């Protein structure tokens, strides 16, 4: 260790790298779990479901060299910023597709009604969250808020499981 540096300076990058590799592993393993469900939900053939897996790993293969060139030319901080911008762009496109998918599946006459029905629970939840969260925090403390959030997450997992069973 060099003079003047504290022993804590190496922990933040280490924790960040461990967290990133953990999330990378989760995404990698979820891919294998989700493909059979996607195959059943979208009536994919074995070839088509194999192409989903291939596209996932082809992205790693094709983007490794451009990512290294960006890092070499602009540095790792700019590469992280570019990655976050691309991630945000992908999420924005996902939001657009999420809004247009019901239009493609249903008739345009029912689109507004369907979108209203789909967004109602989300809007109610967004409106009630500050009030309920503040009340819980004030009355029961932070552990109660954590418990309620954990319970809601488990209910969400249960509902997704029930939805997947219907498909």
Q: Give Cβ neighbours of residue 56 (< 8 Å, ≥ 6 apart).
A: 31
Summarize pLDDT for 155-167 with one digit per residue, the tens. 888 877 777 777 6
Summarize pLDDT for 78-95 with one digit per residue, the tens. 887 787 788 788 878 877
Q: Write down the pLDDT at residue 68.
A: 87
Q: Write down the pLDDT at residue 128.
A: 83
Cite the DSSP H helix spans in 42-141. Answer: 46-74, 76-105, 111-139
pTM tops 0.75, yes or no: no
Mean of per-residue pLDDT scores for the chain: 78
Q: Write down the pLDDT at residue 48.
A: 85
CB of 60 within 8 A of CB of 72?
no
Summarize pLDDT for 108-119 with one digit per residue, the tens. 777 777 777 777
């Amino acid at each position: 260790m060099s003079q003047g540096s504290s022993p804590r300076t190496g922990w933040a990058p280490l924790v960040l790298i461990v967290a990133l590799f953990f999330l990378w592993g989760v995404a990698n393993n979820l891919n294998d779990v989700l493909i059979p469900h996607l195959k059943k939900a979208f009536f994919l053939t074995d070839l088509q479901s194999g192409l989903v897996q291939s596209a996932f790993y082809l992205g790693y293969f094709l983007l490794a060299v451009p990512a290294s060139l960006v890092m070499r030319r602009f540095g790792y901080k700019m590469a992280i910023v570019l990655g976050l911008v691309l991630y945000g762009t992908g999420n924005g496109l996902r939001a657009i597709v999420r809004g247009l998918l019901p239009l493609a599946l249903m008739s345009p006459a029912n689109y507004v009604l369907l979108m209203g029905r789909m967004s109602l629970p989300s809007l109610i939840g967004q409106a009630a969250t500050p009030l309920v969260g503040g009340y819980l925090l004030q009355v029961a403390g932070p552990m109660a808020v954590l418990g309620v959030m954990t319970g809601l997450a488990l209910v969400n997992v249960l509902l997704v499981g029930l939805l997947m069973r219907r498909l």
